[in-house]
Amino acid sequence: MSGIMEFIAGTKDFFLQNGAIGLFILAFAEASFFPVPPDIVLIPLTIMSPARGLYYAAITSIASTLGGLFGYFIGIRAGRPILSRFVKENNIQKIEDMFACYGGWAVAVAGFTPIPYKVFTIASGVFRMNLTTFFIAALLSRSARFFMESAIIMAMGENAMVYINKLLGPGSFLLAVVALVIYIMVKKTRITIHFTPEKLPGYSFAKKTSEKYIVRFGEFGIYIIGGLITAGIFGMMFIKLVTEMLEKELGWLDRGVIEIFKSIQSPAIDVIVNAINVLQQPLALLVLLAAGLLWAEYLHKNAMYPAMILITFSGSFVIQWGLKSLFQRPRLLPLDHPLGFLAYSFPSGTALLFTAFLGFLAFLITKKAKSRHKITAAVIWLMLIAIMGASRIYLGMSYPTDILAGFLIGVVWLASCIVAIEAIEYYSR
């Protein structure tokens, strides 16, 4: 428990140090997958600078709404195919009908109250709730919560905490009931509100521009945009992580995660983790590489795919050689006979290699597979990365931040390789 509390406290300190940017990232992540709510950063920032309270509230509201949309699409792309395998379609349809009637209220209540918001954002995608209804419910409920927090602090200062805990803790459920009553009363008056995104400023221009771009470059254009955005975001996150690591400000994260892993140690897990570690040995990696090359040649009948697999694989070693030699962070547990740059741990070469190499193999599968198999390939890839990373931490071979850094730079390298192979395909036609 102490490890978990230290993790939460460290998370708060980390995002506080990064001000508005940290607040935006936390609010976005919490709305779709991260367990720590943005309130723990919004409230201290507003107390420290009341004049910027509304600014911080706006940032949190926008980021949380965008994160909710991300969670919505996670539900559509990943949650729905998985659910369809275990639940009959007619039962899913019944739940969809319920979401069509009450989903907006469910999202609004979750967005305003302490109920885990991310559960409803993902569920809304799984059960295909109307996107416009979801967006409006998410934006209004999250804005109401965060602007209310900031307004109370701006009016009452540090004394506001008592009222915030009451109003936006258990009291938020009462406010939700009041809002429901008002809604029912308004509905009886037959007042209607119509939202048409086509009337928003710039909508027509943005739509026409995107359509022209897609017509000109097709799928390649989508890969360019997606690849550059992905590489840019993960690259900036890696740079930020490096800065924090060099300033020794991430010790709380390493200690917290390591304590959690220590608390679950057992002989049975030791056997499993040691077996997983065998797959990370040089001979196993060479066998995996050979299998990947043969499989790509058989599946695609084109030499450029095995060549790109080899580039992705070897490039991962070149990148980790350069970065490990640059940062020279000692390993948590020194190796018996380290060779050169392998004596250092940052970033994790295993995380980098498996992220880029296995990710590229998964990408090649998606080029031939049906829609449901694409999701399966992506899920298996993410699970393998998580398992490999967790095994390194469990065995004391890497710091958690080493694994995170390896994953981030691995995604950058993976995105670059995917854009490169798509460019080769496009210009060789």
Range of the domain at 348: 211-427
Last residue of a domain, one of 195, 224, 240: 195
Q: Specify the long-range contacts of residues 148-155, CB closer than 8 Å, at least 24 apart.
A: 149/39, 149/42, 149/43, 149/46, 149/57, 150/42, 150/46, 150/53, 150/54, 150/56, 150/57, 151/53, 151/54, 151/57, 153/43, 153/46, 153/47, 153/50, 153/53, 154/46, 154/50, 154/53, 154/54
Q: 280, 350 in Cβ contact below 8 A?
A: yes
Mark whether 319 and 388 lie in a shared domain.
yes
Residues 110, 251 within the same domain? no
228 shares its domain with 88: no
Q: Is 57 within a domain?
A: yes
Domain assignment present for residue 204? The answer is no
Among 166, 195, 224, give the residue marking a domain's end: 195
The answer as to whether 203 is a domain residue is no
DSSP 342: G
Please report whether residue 206 resides in a domain. no
Same domain, 251 and 321: yes
What per-residue confidence (pLDDT) applies to 220?
62
Instruction: Judge if 220 and 355 occupy the same domain.
Output: yes
Answer whether residue 205 is part of any domain.
no
276 and 367 inside one domain? yes
pLDDT, tens digit (0-9, with 9 covering 90-100), for 103-136: 666 777 777 766 677 777 887 877 777 788 788 8
Q: Report if residue 17 sits inside a domain.
A: yes
The stretch 78-95 carries a mean pLDDT of 62
The token pair at 362 is 């998964």
Domain count, the chain: 2
* Cα gap 362→329, rounded to integer Å: 31
- Better-predicted residue by pLDDT, 97 or 382: 382
Domain end point (choices 171, 195, 219): 195
pLDDT tens digits along 350-399: 889 889 988 888 888 877 666 556 677 777 888 888 888 888 888 888 88
Scanning the structure block, which residue is given the tokens 């809604």?
183
Residue identified by tokens 């420290």 is: 48
Q: Tell me the per-residue pLDDT of 13-26, one tens digit each, with 9 for 90 and over.
A: 666 666 778 788 88
215, part of any domain: yes
| Under 8 Å between Cβ of 332 and 345 | yes
Burial label, 211 (beta-carbon count in 10 A; 0-12, 13-18, 19+):
exposed
Residue 76 shares a structural domain with residue 143: yes
Task: Give yes or no: residues 391 and 249 share one domain.
Answer: yes
Domain co-membership, 267 together with 121:
no
